[in-house]
Amino acid sequence: MKRFFGLRGVLVSLMVLGGSFAFAQNIQPNTVRPPIADRDLVIRVSEITETAVFYPVDIEGTRLEVLAVRAPDGTIRTAFNTCQVCYASGRGFYRQQGTVLVCQNCGNRFRMSQVEVRSGGCNPVPIFPANKTVTDAAITISKEFLKEAKAIFARWRRS
């Protein structure tokens, strides 16, 4: 019985200190913005850094998510937060760990410099320049383009 309470105390301590533990392992906290519904997604350039920002969007009842990050070369990259291979599993989404994105289904690690560059394989679905409008102040991804991506989020279960 004493051993059980000792283990429970350790687990409670880890839960309380979870933020410190994550920091020690170099895991970036996920920055998720409030969801928007059935409209264009507008991302302010000023809020994009080397830490990925995740933008939930509800399009006609389907939850999608776009990620935006500043790559090492200073460019801003965007992609759908779902893996091109694992999306059907429902767990094919990414979380940032240090300087890479990690697929939560297969564990593939993906460098920030490859976001929006690579297409195909186990990596985030890129949102190329032709599919967004970029100004000095904002990146706009149209509702119509977001609607086209609904199918790859049909089983998506980000947690």
User: Which pTM value belongs to this model?
Assistant: 0.77
Q: Which long-range contacts (CB under 8 A, 24 or more apart) does 52-58 make?
A: 52/28, 52/94, 52/96, 52/101, 52/112, 54/30, 54/81, 56/32, 57/146
Structural domains in the chain plus CATH codes: 26-153 (2.102.10)
Of the candidates 158, 139, 117, 155, the residue with the CA atom closest to the CA atom of residue 43 = 139
Mean pLDDT over the full length of the chain: 80
- pLDDT reported for residue 74: 94
Q: Where are the alpha helices (DSSP H) in the chain?
A: 2-16, 18-24, 143-148
What are 3-12's pLDDT values in tens digits?
A: 433 433 333 3
* Residue 47 CB coordination number (10 Å): 10
- pLDDT reported for residue 18: 36
- pLDDT reported for residue 148: 94
Which whole-number Å values give the CA distances from 105 to 21, 70, 120, 158, in the listed order? 22, 24, 16, 11
- pLDDT reported for residue 40: 95
- pLDDT reported for residue 63: 92
What are 48-67's pLDDT values in tens digits?
A: 999 999 999 999 999 999 99
Which of the two residues, 89 and 101, has the higher pLDDT score?
101
